[in-house]
Amino acid sequence: MFVYADNAATTKMSPTAIKAMTEAMETVWGNPSSLHTTGQTAKEALENARGTIASLLGAEPREIYFTSGGSEADNQAILSAAINGAKKNK
């Protein structure tokens, strides 16, 4: 039996996630910040994904941020906590 105990560092992706990611990389590879058609197609896919994730979490789409990795996500969480704390005078 194989046991992988380092899931804090990385976790094997599910076949469903791999399929979805591969499809996205092959079809909506444009820069979603661009004004050209390829970029706007990518932006539409990004916003659809944001809406799907938000609905699954019971959140608003504007509350969903996608980051490039763990360090960026950690920094975003710290900044968000600091901003929210400052609003409460903490």
Name, in order, each residue with C-beta under 8 angstroms of 24's C-beta and a sequence gap of 6 or more.
45
Distance (Å, whole) CA 44 – CA 56: 18
pLDDT tens per residue across all 90 residues of the chain: 988 888 777 888 899 999 999 999 999 999 999 999 999 999 999 999 999 999 999 999 999 999 888 889 999 999 999 999 999 988
The type of residue at 64 is I
Alpha-carbon radius of gyration of the chain = 17
Predicted TM-score of the model (pTM)? 0.72
Biggest CA–CA distance in the chain, Å, is 53
> 58 — alpha (psi -120 to 50), left (phi > 0) or beta?
left
